[in-house]
Amino acid sequence: QSVLTQPPSASGTPGQRVTISCSGSSSNIGSNTLNWYQQLPGTAPQLLIYSNDQRPSGVPDRFSGSKAGTSASLAISGLQSEDEADYFCAAWDDSLNGWVFGGGTKLTVL
């Protein structure tokens, strides 16, 4: 059972916009910034969004993040086949004194 809650799956067709949610609590998302990661099969996670809504250099602007209270969302617009991957959220937890992660959402491009 992950501390941060994500839907296990999401899907969309090429060109569509999809969103993935991440729900936490006051000790993690509510008081610290959130990261989003993309993980392709057999590879290490790659940072997509940091500090709730910031994109590292090299990440397309099709990816965007937002946070409100103890929840956050990742939006992917103009969906492409190469976006098919696992996505998970992460934040520091002040009560646990450690990083907590979402269980991951498997995105399928139909």
Partner 1 sequence: EVQVVESGGGLVQPGGSLRLSCAASGFTFSTYAMSWVRQAPGKGVEWVSGISGSGDSTYYADSVKGRFTISRDNSKNTLHLQMNSLRAEDTAVYYCAKLGGAVDVWGKGTTVTVSS
- Which residues bind to partner 1, rule: CB under 8 A? 2, 33, 35, 37, 39, 43-47, 50-51, 54, 56, 88, 90, 92, 97-104
Closer of 6 and 71 to partner 1 (Cβ): 6
Closer of 13 and 43 to partner 1 (Cβ): 43
Closer of 1 and 13 to partner 1 (Cβ): 1
CB of 72 to partner 1, least distance (A): 15
- Alpha-carbon distance of 58 to 46, in angstroms, equals 11
Q: What is the dihedral of CA 93, 43, 18, 21, to 10 degrees?
A: -20
CB of 15 to partner 1, least distance (A): 29
- Alpha-carbon distance of 105 to 26, in angstroms, equals 22
CB of 45 to partner 1, least distance (A): 6
Closer of 13 and 32 to partner 1 (Cβ): 32
- Alpha-carbon distance of 50 to 32, in angstroms, equals 11
- Alpha-carbon distance of 96 to 94, in angstroms, equals 6
Dmax (CA) of the chain: 41
CB of 88 to partner 1, least distance (A): 6
